[in-house]
A and B are shown apart, each in its own frame.
Chain A
C-alpha cells in the first residue's frame, strides 16, 4: 500500500533563511508522482511543486525545490529565503501513475511551518 510520512509536525525558521521539510514515501509502483501543497489558515490547498518518479533532475519552482532521492524514497521540500507569508501547513502527497487510480492523491500528515521575523 502507498504511504506518505512527514515526521516533523512543526518547524520554525528565521525569515530569509532556507528550510527543509521532510517527506518519505512507500510504494511498490514503478511509476508515481510526488507533490507538495501549501495550506494557509484559510484552508485552500495551493500546489507548489511536482516530481515524477522517472524525472532525472530535481524539480524547482521559484523558491521551492524538491530534493528527490529515489533510492531512499524521500522527497524533501526546500524553501529558500523564507518569507513571513510562507507560514502555513505543508503537505507532501503521492499518486500512482500506472494502475489507473485516477490521480488519487495520498497525503502525509503535514508539517506546520512558522517563519519568524
Chain B
C-alpha cells in the first residue's frame, strides 16, 4: 500500500511569490492535514480538509490556503511569500478524523 506522497520535495521561491504544494493521501483516506515545521517553532497545525471541505485551520494568515480535490488529494497554496515561511511542510492523512495520521515525507520550502 502506497503511503502519503508529497511534491515537490524541495521548492525555492523568492519573497512575494506564490508557492503550491501537493499531497496525495493513502488510498481510502478522506482526511488530509497540513502542518508547518519551521526552525525554532516546532510543528504547527495549518489546515484540515475532509470530503472536499476545509474543516479547521490553525493560527495562520489567510494567504495560507488550499483545497481538496474529489480524489482526496490536496493542494496548499501560500501567497505573498515571506522569509519566515521557509519551513518543512508536512501533509498527513487519516481514515476519518479520529484515526491515526500518517505523514508524507514533506516539502521543504525555502524563501529567499
Contacts and interface: CB of A to CB of B under 8 A. Distances in A.
Interface in A91-106: 91, 93, 97, 101-106
A42 interface: yes
B92 interface: yes
A25 interface: no
A103 B99 CA distance: 8
B48 interface: yes
A105 B42 CA distance: 12
B97 A107 contact: no
Given A43-B106, A43-B108, A50-B100, A102 B43 contact: no
Contacts of A37: 103
B103 A42 contact: no
Contacts of B105: 42-44
A108 B106 contact: no
Q: For A35, A45, A107, A108, which residue has the most chain B Cβ atoms within 10 angstroms?
A: A45
Interface residues of A, number: 23
A47 interface: yes
B64 interface: no
B104 A103 contact: no
- Give the size range of B's interface with the partner: 20 to 34
Contacts of A93: 43
Contact of A102 (B31, B35, B88): B31
A91 B50 CA distance: 25
Contact of B42 (A44, A45, A97, A110): A110
A105 B88 contact: no
Interface in B80-112: 88, 90, 92, 94, 97-106, 108
Cβ-closest 9 pairs across A and B: A45-B103, A107-B43, A103-B97, A102-B48, A102-B56, A44-B105, A43-B106, A104-B45, A102-B55
Interface of B: 31, 33, 35, 42-45, 48, 50, 55-56, 58, 88, 90, 92, 94, 97-106, 108
